């Protein structure tokens, strides 16, 4: 059973967020404005950053975002997490995710680069995926080794992270060591049964408006385009993945079906389905959810295992040569 903190958070979210996500969209501008109001907490609700956290904004070569680093980790050879935030492609930013990215930096001993990709409806597909590719290229150009990079993302950012893996492979760019996806939105065609069956149990999102929100991003492009909905893509050759989702989420089937497809395509996937937790619960670490702390700890271990494993393989190949 979820902790009392998580049950309380879900009850409050149902009152403050779920009601708004159920309302039909009048037009694109109104839909984006409402999503940003619902998903971007006011500044007074955002967790303050401790002095041990260093935030370094980036805006160069068309790449925007910020580095987040727990200072006690400095001096060690660190892995990098390249993080793509959620928000339905229309809301949120690296700033709203600092509680999560700083906690992940501390737990995993990594530097986190959170990309500030262009948002819909002002910037529709392929803006977000092009920005994601550009951000990854910039990491490589600055000397980051792909074997020490782990890509992460949640919700829309989880779908974007999966699409990025496809784009990197198809463009011949070296892949990261692994990826973790939190409640990923992998099917913007909105065909998952859980959009209906979990409508009542999801305390944050509504399946009734999923297709309408998706259209703000994909516009006139087909929602089944793999770089929009990676569920429909060729996943052969992608790196190992860790996927989390809750059994009460409307995006349950997006995660389950994507994990199954990836496995059929030969990808090493670990799918963890939790019970009764809210959508992308790890990002709410600032609200004191015990499950958020536990999941971040598990992600940290996944990062250490896969980045070090990829590095060891690279050393072995260089030694053999």
Q: What is the pLDDT of residues 141-175, one digit of tens each?
A: 999 999 999 999 999 999 999 999 999 999 999 99
Task: Tell whether 294 is covered by a domain.
Answer: yes
- The tokens for 97 are 């995710």
Place of tokens 């092009």: 130
Task: Tell whether 320 is covered by a domain.
Answer: no
Domain count, the chain: 1
The verdict on pTM exceeding 0.85 is yes
Specify the higher pLDDT residue, 85 or 77. 85
CA dist 119 → 162, 214, 217 (Å): 17, 12, 8
| Active-site choice (155, 194, 206, 229) | 155
3-state DSSP assignment of residue 212: helix
- The tokens for 259 are 């994990």
Residue 249 falls in the annotated catalytic set: yes
Nearest CA among 151, 320, 183 for reference residue 255: 183
Per-residue model confidence as pLDDT tens digits over 163-217 = 999 999 999 999 999 999 999 999 999 999 999 999 999 999 999 989 999 999 9
Per-residue model confidence as pLDDT tens digits over 237-272 = 999 999 999 999 999 999 999 999 999 999 999 999
Task: Tell whether 319 is covered by a domain.
Answer: no
| Active-site choice (93, 279, 291, 306) | 279
* Domain of residue 152, CATH code: 3.40.50.1820
Per-residue model confidence as pLDDT tens digits over 114-147 = 999 999 999 999 999 999 999 999 999 999 999 9
Give the long-range contacts of residues 140-146, CB within 8 A, separation 24 or more: 140/173, 140/174, 144/80, 145/311, 145/314, 146/174, 146/175, 146/176, 146/177
Task: Tell whether 249 is covered by a domain.
Answer: yes
Strands 111-115 and 149-154: unpaired
Task: Give the number of other Cβ atoms within 10 Å of residue 317's Cβ.
Answer: 9
Is 51 buried (19+), middle (13-18) or exposed (0-12) by CB count in 10 A?
exposed
Task: Tell whether 63 is covered by a domain.
Answer: yes
For the sheet containing 149-154, what is the strand order? 53-60, 63-70, 111-115, 80-84, 149-154, 178-182, 241-246, 269-274
Percent of the chain clearing pLDDT 90 (strictly above): 79
Q: State the residue range of the domain holding 225.
A: 4-314
3-state DSSP assignment of residue 235: coil
Distance CA(219)–CA(33), nearest Å, equals 17
Task: Tell whether 122 is covered by a domain.
Answer: yes
195 touches 254 (CB < 8 A): no
Residue 155 falls in the annotated catalytic set: yes
Specify the higher pLDDT residue, 31 or 302. 302
Q: For residue 64, give the H/E element and its range.
A: strand 63-70
| Active-site choice (93, 249, 291, 306) | 249
């Amino acid at each position: 059973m979820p902790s009392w903190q998580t049950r309380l958070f879900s009850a409050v979210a149902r009152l403050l967020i779920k009601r708004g996500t159920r309302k039909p969209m009048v037009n694109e501008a109104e839909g984006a404005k409402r999503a940003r109001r619902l998903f971007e907490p006011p500044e007074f609700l955002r967790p303050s950053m401790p002095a041990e956290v260093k935030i370094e904004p980036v805006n160069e070569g068309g790449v925007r975002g910020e580095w987040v680093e727990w200072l006690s980790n400095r001096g060690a050879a660190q892995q990098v997490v390249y993080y793509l935030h959620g928000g339905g492609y229309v809301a949120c930013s690296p700033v709203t995710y600092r509680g999560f990215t700083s906690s992940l930096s501390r737990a995993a001993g990594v530097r986190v680069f959170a990309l500030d990709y262009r948002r819909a409806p002002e910037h529709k597909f392929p803006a977000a995926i092009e920005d994601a590719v550009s951000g990854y290229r910039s990491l490589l150009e600055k000397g980051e080794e792909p074997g020490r990079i782990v890509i992460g993302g949640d919700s829309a950012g989880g779908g974007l992270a999966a699409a990025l893996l496809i784009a990197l492979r198809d463009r011949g760019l070296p892949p990261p060591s692994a990826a973790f996806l939190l409640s990923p939105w992998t099917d913007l065609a909105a065909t998952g049964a859980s959009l209906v069956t979990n409508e009542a149990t999801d305390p944050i999102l509504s399946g009734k408006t999923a297709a309408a929100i998706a259209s703000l991003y994909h516009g006139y492009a087909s929602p089944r385009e793999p770089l929009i909905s990676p569920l429909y893509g060729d996943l052969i050759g992608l790196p190992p993945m860790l996927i989390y989702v809750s059994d009460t989420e409307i995006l349950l089937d997006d995660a389950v079906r994507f994990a199954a497809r990836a496995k059929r395509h030969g990808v090493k996937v670990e799918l963890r389905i939790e019970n009764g937790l809210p959508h992308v619960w790890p990002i709410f670490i600032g609200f004191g959810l015990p499950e958020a702390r536990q999941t971040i700890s598990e992600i940290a271990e996944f990062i250490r295992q896969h980045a070090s494993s990829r590095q060891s393989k690279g050393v072995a190949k260089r030694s053999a040569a």
